[in-house]
Structure 1
């Protein structure tokens, strides 16, 4: 008897039943990018794409090849800002959320 579950399946099921979880993942990916942790952001975004939009649908929506999108969102990926904007836009649209950045003043 298997006692563990595949992480991707767990994320996919949780995303499907809990929209707040999916939105939190998107927020976490955006925050990681803005905080200078692009490698973490790409991996979170990859898991979110797998769980929500799917790479084939993302490829159709962004007019980019699926294989290229997989590479962009890999640990060593290097997507351009245009590609990131397209990916975030497609996921944001799928989840029905907006992304708003807030500046924080340091004392």
Structure 2
């Protein structure tokens, strides 16, 4: 057995078997977007989609073509705020969580 595993594969497998880890990924994706790191957030969301609802399921939940969703969450993607809100809402509902934002004073 190879000692080196694909990081994305490890993340997907962990999120599939550990609902709390999947929720933490959603939290991290949200924090990345809100803290000005949209590229990292898109890739984190992409891994979360692959681990949970899948792009076909996300397409059904958002009424957006799966190919468009793949592009939106690619490294060079640029989803509109409406599309981003729809993606977060679909994943949030799929995981059965609410997103609550709390401001923390910067150090």
Normalising to structure 1: TM-score of the pair?
0.92
C-alpha distance in 1 between matches for 2:106 and 2:38: 23
Offset, 1:96:
0.7
What is the RMSD of the two structures over their aligned residues, measured on CA atoms? Answer: 1.5
Matched, 1:55 2:55: yes
Which runs of no fewer than 5 residues in structure 1 stay unpaired? none
Matches within 5 A, 1:13-92: 13-92=13-92
C-alpha distance in 2 between matches for 1:29 and 1:106: 19
Aligned length, in residue pairs? 107
CA contact under 8 A between 1:12 and 1:50: conserved in structure 2?
A: yes
C-alpha distance in 1 between matches for 2:61 and 2:34: 24
- Which sits farther off after the overlay, 8-17 or 46-55? 8-17
The corresponding residue for 1:12 is 12
Offset, 1:20:
1.0
1:70-106 deviations in Å (ceiling 9; x for gaps): 0000111000011001100111111111111112245
CA contact under 8 A between 1:8 and 1:51: conserved in structure 2?
A: no
C-alpha distance in 2 between matches for 1:63 and 1:103: 32
Classify the secondary structure of the residue corresponding to 1:93: helix
Classify the secondary structure of the residue corresponding to 1:5: coil
Which runs of no fewer than 5 residues in structure 2 stay unpaired? none
